[in-house]
Structure 1
């Protein structure tokens, strides 16, 4: 990647973080947005994270309907796929505070 492409990538990330900061100004309870900014996570990484959470949420619902009571493999999949320097515990707490994927993270809270 050349210098120009890296500069464009940095500008795009700054624009993304700026949008998150503006949302934080109106609602300081957006803990997950704060976490994204603090750790410098990119929009692409967060998109992958949300797609994984969508998938895991569906799997959780299906497994609960089938009578499963043990969801540690789903938790492990999320833990292994976290972007950058994020820790599972801080992600879990921030998502619960922001009420993102609440059923999923309430279940995962048992494994922390």
Structure 2
């Protein structure tokens, strides 16, 4: 029974890979990243909470007149799920129009 379940799971993962190859994911690069990095629903929710938290901090810092957000990027990087790379995550979020203001500031920091 367990062997059969394992084979079915492996087949589903294979089908998922095939679907990613044939479906145009250009409009959803972050969603594609979630699938490629095998993030679960809880991990995606944690990411969303992290971005909301970081976005609030960004707004507070801007209200205080700060213009340099590298420490915020560092904090984001430290708290980001280890399955995700910072630069790739920032780029995919920007392309999918997620947390645009926050990710734009992070991208500026990454470019130096």
Matched position secondary structure for 2:27: coil
CA distance in 1, matches of 2:35, 2:56: 28
Provide the residue aligned with 2:79 in structure 1.
Answer: 81
Partner of 1:90: 88
| Higher Rg of the two aligned structures | 2
User: How many positions carry a matched residue from both structures?
Assistant: 95
Contact 2:30 2:92 in 1 (8 A): yes
Gaps of 5+ in 2: none
Q: What is the RMSD computed on CA atoms of the aligned residues?
A: 2.4
Q: Deviations over 1:8-62 (max 9, x none)?
A: xxx8xx8xxx8xx8xxx58741110000000101111111111010011111111
Distance 1:27 1:86, change over 3 A: closer
TM-score by length of 2: 0.74
Consecutive aligned runs of 4 or more in structure 1 exceeding 4 Å deviation = 25-28
- Aligned residue for 2:29? 31
Kept in 2: contact 1:39–1:85 (CA 8 A):
yes
